[in-house]
């Protein structure tokens, strides 16, 4: 088992993340006032302690809007916490996509968290370190370690948020789906840190993969599957980056949502992973929609992919991750 070291347990703190971004970038035209929206008073917690290798809270994140709100230059991974009015015990950590170049933090993160809140799910939007960050060296397994650490953090603090330790899921979109799938298949191979958070089980209880990148298989792969690979460890890491090859009986139950008309990440990525899970006897549900393309987030009006979140919620009820009512 590989071990990643930390030094001390992180503390929870509140901060108005969007206001800080405005103060840092607003005069430069990076974000507009409407980007602050309803997220300015959310609790944000750093998941790694100061002093952890390759973690630096003094380095500012970069936020831009070009078609979607884009976050990059992340050196201090964190969770933005969305608490429902009436929590039902279920929690989901959300990993937005962005090709491992940026994080599409709004339509694949905050908007989804608010949707989950409506059915009583406590949601946590993860800002994870990107392997394409200039001169940072955030290669595999660093991005995956952020996802696993997030699950551990939620599990340690479950009682604080009315969460059942056995109902903590991991959701990912596009490259965030690849991150989620690597975490869900490789959690037994890596030991993360040495504090109270690290003592918690890192296995997600379930996964939701929305138009995910899965494989390095020729003819199906999306190029970002290679982004986390350390060039000096290419041969050793290539297998780990093809998630369908690492499925075991311990891989969490998984829900898939993918559009057949996705021209960016082929829907066969989801098919490969679904078939691998089925071969191991792991519960999985594959929903292929006729329309949606790529990057649809919660979906677009008039397209059948807009119903994926309803289908996901129904699936969770079937598996008793949500109450039947």
Q: Which among 71, 78, 79 has a CA at the least distance from the CA of 25?
A: 71
- In the chain, domain spans: 2-16+47-59+74-318
**CATH code, 2-16+47-59+74-318:** 3.40.50.1820
Residue scoring higher pLDDT (309 or 9): 309
8 Å CB contact between 303 and 292: yes
The residues, ordered by sequence, that sit 6+ positions from 190 with a Cβ below 8 Å of its Cβ are 1, 2, 3, 4, 141, 144, 145, 148, 202
User: Taking all residues of the chain, what is their mean pLDDT, rounded to a whole number?
Assistant: 89
* 220 vs 275: CA distance, rounded Å: 15
Residue listed under structure tokens 């990440």:
265
8 Å CB contact between 50 and 57: yes
With a pLDDT cut of 70, the percent of the chain lying above it is 87
Q: Which among 299, 317, 319, 321 has a CA at the least distance from the CA of 308?
A: 299
What pLDDT is attached to residue 324?
Answer: 87
8 Å CB contact between 149 and 160: no
> pLDDT at residue 29 above 70?
no
* 311 vs 305: CA distance, rounded Å: 10
* 231 vs 237: CA distance, rounded Å: 9
> pLDDT at residue 66 above 90?
no
How much is the average pLDDT of 174-199? 95
* Neighbouring-strand partners of residue 91: 122, 168
Reported confidence tier of residue 2, pLDDT bands at 50, 70, 90: low
Half-sphere exposure at residue 31, Cβ-oriented, CA atoms within 13 angstroms:
24
Reported confidence tier of residue 41, pLDDT bands at 50, 70, 90: low
What are the tens digits of pLDDT across the range 237-274? Answer: 999 999 999 999 999 999 999 999 999 999 999 999 99
How much is the average pLDDT of 200-209? 98
Q: What is the pTM of this model?
A: 0.89
């Amino acid at each position: 088992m590989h071990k990643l070291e930390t030094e001390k347990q992180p503390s929870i703190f509140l901060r108005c993340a969007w206001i800080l971004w405005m103060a840092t970038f607003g005069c430069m035209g990076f974000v507009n006032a409407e980007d602050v929206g309803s997220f300015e008073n959310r609790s944000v917690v750093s998941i790694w302690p100061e002093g952890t290798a390759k973690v630096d809270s003094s380095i500012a994140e970069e936020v831009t809007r070009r078609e979607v709100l884009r976050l990059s230059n992340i050196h201090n991974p964190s969770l933005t916490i969305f608490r429902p009015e009436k929590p039902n015990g279920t929690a989901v950590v959300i990993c937005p996509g962005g090709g491992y170049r940026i994080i599409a933090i709004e339509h694949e993160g905050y908007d989804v968290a608010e949707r989950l809140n409506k059915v009583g799910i406590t949601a946590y939007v993860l800002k994870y370190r990107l392997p394409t960050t200039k001169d940072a060296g955030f290669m595999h397994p660093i991005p995956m370690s952020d996802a696993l650490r997030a699950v551990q953090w939620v599990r340690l603090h479950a009682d604080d948020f009315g969460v059942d330790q056995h109902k903590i899921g991991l959701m990912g979109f596009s490259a965030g789906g690849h991150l989620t799938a690597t975490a869900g298949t490789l959690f037994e191979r890596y030991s993360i840190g040495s504090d109270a958070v690290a003592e918690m089980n890192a296995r997600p209880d379930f996964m939701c993969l929305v138009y995910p990148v899965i494989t390095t298989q020729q003819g199906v792969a999306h190029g970002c599957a290679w982004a986390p690979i350390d060039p000096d460890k290419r041969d050793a890491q290539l297998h780990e980056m093809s998630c369908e090859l690492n499925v075991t009986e311990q891989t969490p139950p998984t829900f898939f949502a993918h559009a057949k008309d996705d021209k960016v990440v082929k829907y066969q990525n989801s098919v490969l992973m679904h078939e691998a899970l089925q071969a191991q006897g792991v519960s999985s549900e594959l929903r292929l929609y006729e329309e949606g393309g790529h990057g649809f987030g919660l979906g677009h009006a008039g397209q059948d992919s807009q119903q994926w979140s309803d289908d996901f919620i129904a699936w969770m009820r079937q598996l008793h991750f949500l109450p039947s009512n």
